[in-house]
Structure 1
Amino acid sequence: MKLSTDRDALLSLIAATAAATDQAPYVRLVATDHALACEGISPELAIRVRALAGVEEGGEMAVPARTLARLIACLPQGTVQLEAAYPHLSIAYEGGTASLVGADAIMVGEFPESDADHAALPDGAFATLIPQVAFAAARQEEGRPQLTGIRLEARGGRLYAVATDGVRLAMASLPFEGSVAVTLSRKAAALLRELSRQDPQATIAQERGQLHYRSAAAAAAVTTLAYAYPDMWQVRQSLPAGACIAVSRQALLEAVARAEAVLADRRHAIALGLGPRGLSVAAASDEGSVHTVLPGERYGRRDDIGCRVRAEFLARPLRALPQEVEAVRLHITGQATALLLQAEAGDLLVEHIIMPVISA
């Protein structure tokens, strides 16, 4: 193996692969035609990332993942030359050389390929969907492993990303003609989000407990979580009809921030209410109080209705929405039933179901 490539491109390959497969001691460098690929395999996932390179001689070698990533990060900008003469990988850069002790390429294991039919994703699908829901997943330390993942499911001609911690439920969807129903770990979802951001055009397939992802620049095989995921469709369909108002997203976010500012404890709730003047957002504590009324267009029930929710559970999805979203819809269904937040941006549909705080 002998090739030259840009230091930044090389660092991007190696850092992404090493971070994704942090349990694996080696990554595999593969030089073919006009590209260099970096492959990493761990029990949870496998990743292959490619970049253009000037390849004089093809070949492959396993190299210590963390050591290689640290070394490349310290190299100066410019062209880097790699040459493998087993068991050493020689690295030449402007002003110096380095050498790493490698291993046989088989040390990394065989990259899992899929023969299943792949379905095309909407451009940048995971980069769009996953940031809308990931924050709502339960944490490992909360002791609910079945809720720590992010659900991907095709339904009714759309691809849904879903996450819940039992108190809030986040759903985001885009048009999709394929078939998939899997639950991914946070780490795997974050990897797919980044791959989707770097190369928006990709395909997926589900096969033998894995989700396979392909794009021109990368491929990944993610082991899915075996825990049964809650029936979020039943939760969504069971919401009672409520009073709805469409308000400015930015104005609502600012009103929630003001309400949260006067709370002595962020775990305390803010009050939302629909009345003749619009949506009221209020909070009070021993240290002060605040009350804001936001005008908007009302739908559905016309009676006065309100509920109390944690400010964070409303502010976080508002901040996550794409910048082009100017207005959101709030459905207040009652003091003891869930609040529904809805937003749209082109083909993207987002819904957040937030359980109320019953006591102050």
Structure 2
Amino acid sequence: MKATVERATLLKCLGHVQSVVERRNTIPILSNVLIEAEDGGLKLTATDLDLQVVDSIAATTDTAGATTVSAHTLFDIARKLPDGSQVSLDVGDGNMKIKAGRYSSKLSTLPRDDFPMIAESELPTTFSLPGGTLAEIIDKTRFAISTEETRYYLNGIFMHVTDGKMYAVATDGHRLARMTLDAPDGAEEMPDVIVPRKCVAELRKLLDENEGDVEIGLSASKIRFRVGTAVLTSKLIDGTFPDYSRVIPTGNDKLLRVDPKTLAEGVDRVSAIATDRTKAVKLTLDKGRIVLSVTSPETGTATEEVPADYDNDGFDVGFNARYLLDILHEVKGEQIDVHLADAAAPTLIREGDNSNALYVLMPMRV
């Protein structure tokens, strides 16, 4: 195999695929990227056996062929080569020779035949979503994905279609985020799926560089995204997502309206003195205002008053400051509606009655 490729093109492609590769692998070839030289281009593939990214780039191919080489090492080399340089990749005798200007190196390779691939198969459900819509779905939900491995069925975004609407939901048991949109053509009969956290993270990186529509294909066990020239394929989480609708409150009768940016800045300031992991912040609701307060036995106290539209009986409620900030940072607009019941009941947060995003936050004792 022998090919020449422009450094920036190679670097961008390696950036798409190498982050899938785990730094530590018990199977050596999983540390490698598969490079296939074909007429007019290179195809690069990386996998961790659960997730696979394939991307294609233009290149001058002198000799077709394929090999695998350390993904992170090749990425580091490409990153440090001079801008505008032409990179020559020449494979032979179990090595890849890399040349660019006055630079040259030789990397060990492993045979292409040993490289595992997630099998290409027909996925019965196919539809498209605008890249911007998919990015918004991810941004407004992924912060609530659980990192607790014992509850593996919460380690991703749950997507399902009901009554012509598509829902994307994430929860860790302490907070819940849900996005709603009209189900795209072709998605009406899709199975309920849980898209793993790592797949979500890799997909979000690809969406930063793509303005067009994303083709999505899925079955009950696998999902595939076509983002520009890249194809991301992932196994789905094999588990049952809980009936999340039961935790979305419907009877919260106390309405608080507040500027999310002002509230976030206040919560951020008062929580700076909190030393415990939960960073509990107390909200004292009163007519026309909220008083934010944090008490830390080791550090001291902090309070801040935030103007708000509130016209009910006053009471105190506590939240994990980080969880509250995660929600406030994703809210767009100058006002949020916070629906409360009491200090122990789940709180519902919306960007307005017509918003497609909804959040539920469990209170804390303070």
**TM-score bracket for this pair, using the shorter chain length:** 0.7 to 0.9
How far the C-alpha of 1:302 sits from its partner, in A, is 4.1
1:116-135 to structure 2, matched below 5 A, reads: 116=123, 117-135=125-143
CA contact (8 A) 1:34 1:52 kept: yes
* Rounded Cα–Cα distance in structure 2 between residues aligned with 1:194 and 1:187: 11
* Rounded Cα–Cα distance in structure 2 between residues aligned with 1:193 and 1:217: 15
Match of 1:164 in 2: 171
Q: Secondary structure at the match of 1:309?
A: strand
Match of 2:265 in 1: 254
Match of 2:157 in 1: 150
Match of 1:102 in 2: 109
Q: Secondary structure at the match of 1:226?
A: coil
* Rounded Cα–Cα distance in structure 2 between residues aligned with 1:52 and 1:157: 41
Deviation by residue 1:159-203 (Cα, 9 ceiling, x = unmatched): 433222211112234443223522233212111111222224211
* Rounded Cα–Cα distance in structure 1 between residues aligned with 2:118 and 2:246: 38
Partner AA of 1:35 in structure 2: G
TM value normalised by structure 2 = 0.84
Q: How many residues align?
A: 351
How far the C-alpha of 1:111 sits from its partner, in A, is 4.6
CA contact (8 A) 1:11 1:69 kept: yes
Is 1:351 matched with 2:358?
A: yes
How far the C-alpha of 1:33 sits from its partner, in A, is 4.1
The worse-fitting range, judged by mean Cα deviation, of 348-357 and 273-282 is 273-282
Aligned partner of 1:336 among 329, 338, 344? 344
Deviation by residue 1:32-62 (Cα, 9 ceiling, x = unmatched): 3443221123321111022333344443222
Q: 1:114 to 1:195 in 2, by over 3 A?
A: farther
* Rounded Cα–Cα distance in structure 2 between residues aligned with 1:26 and 1:122: 32
Q: 1:348 to 1:223 in 2, by over 3 A?
A: farther
TM value normalised by structure 1 = 0.85
Match of 2:204 in 1: 193
Unaligned runs of 5+ in 2: none
Q: Secondary structure at the match of 1:227?
A: coil
Identity %: 24
Q: 1:85 to 1:283 in 2, by over 3 A?
A: closer
Match of 2:333 in 1: 325
Q: 1:335 to 1:99 in 2, by over 3 A?
A: same
Deviation by residue 1:85-143 (Cα, 9 ceiling, x = unmatched): 464433220113223333432222345323234210132344322232223222236x4
How far the C-alpha of 1:348 sits from its partner, in A, is 7.0
Match of 1:139 in 2: 147
Q: Secondary structure at the match of 1:76?
A: coil
How far the C-alpha of 1:218 sits from its partner, in A, is 0.7
Q: 1:15 to 1:122 in 2, by over 3 A?
A: closer
CA contact (8 A) 1:86 1:103 kept: no
Match of 1:89 in 2: 96
